[in-house]
Amino acid sequence: MDLKQLYQDIILDHGKSPRNFGKCVGYNSEAKGYNPLCGDLVQVYLKLNDKKKVEDLTFEGSGCAISMASASIMTDLVKGKSCEVAKKIINAFLKMVKSSSEIKSEDLDNDQITKIMSLSGVKQFPMRIKCATLSWHTLISAMEEKKEEVNTEAID
């Protein structure tokens, strides 16, 4: 199986049956995000414990397969990480979809790198980049406890 096919299969799988979908019990922060270009809506629920570790992370929303798959992969990879590591992963992801072709992270194992890399194909489709980054920007907002809704048109 070639890599392109593998990446497509991962996106289809996560798009069809998103992981960590719904409100998690005891979340202590949440944020909303909207991508008006495509109509993707996402709401992120974050449960941080007193050691600033992501104890639980879930999402709700509706939108295209890329936006849902990206949110699903994000929750899958960030859950269980410390806030500091989560931010590093978010930055590495945003860099990957916008500019670089690889992702370098000491905080992800090979399986997780493959999952995150499955979204690298959006670079060829500028319209889809915001579909992929929406949930990640929304997670940053939840971590920083911003009250404003994230709008991808207000982000570069």
Contact between 133 and Zn ion per CB under 5 A = no
Q: Which of 7, 27, 29, 64 binds Zn ion (CB under 5 A)?
A: 64
Please provide residue 20's backbone torsions phi and psi, each rounded to the nearest 5 degrees. 55, 40
* Residues in region 15-34 near Zn ion by CB under 5 A: none
**Any idea what the Cα angle at residue 127 is, between residues 155 and 77, rounded to 5°?**
70
Q: 119 vs 131, which CB is nearer to Zn ion?
A: 131
Q: Which of 40, 46, 69, 141 binds Zn ion (CB under 5 A)?
A: 40
Q: How far is the CB of 1 from Zn ion (least distance, A)?
A: 26
Q: How many residues line the site for Zn ion (CB under 5 A)?
A: 6
CA nearest neighbour of 106 among 131, 81, 123:
81
Q: Which of 41, 57, 71, 131 binds Zn ion (CB under 5 A)?
A: 131
Q: 68 vs 142, which CB is nearer to Zn ion?
A: 68
Q: 3 vs 127, which CB is nearer to Zn ion?
A: 127
Is the distance from CB of 17 to CB of 48 less than 8 angstroms?
Answer: no
Q: How far is the CB of 38 from Zn ion (least distance, A)?
A: 3
By the 10 Å C-beta count (0-12 exposed, 13-18 middle, 19+ buried), 148 is classed as exposed
Contact between 141 and Zn ion per CB under 5 A = no
Q: Which of 24, 38, 85, 94 binds Zn ion (CB under 5 A)?
A: 38
Please, what is the end-to-end C-alpha distance for the chain in angstroms?
35
Contact between 67 and Zn ion per CB under 5 A = yes
Integer Cα distance of 111 and 54 in angstroms? 20
* Pairing state between β 40-48 and 54-62: antiparallel
**Residues forming the site for Zn ion (CB under 5 A):** 38, 40, 63-64, 67, 131
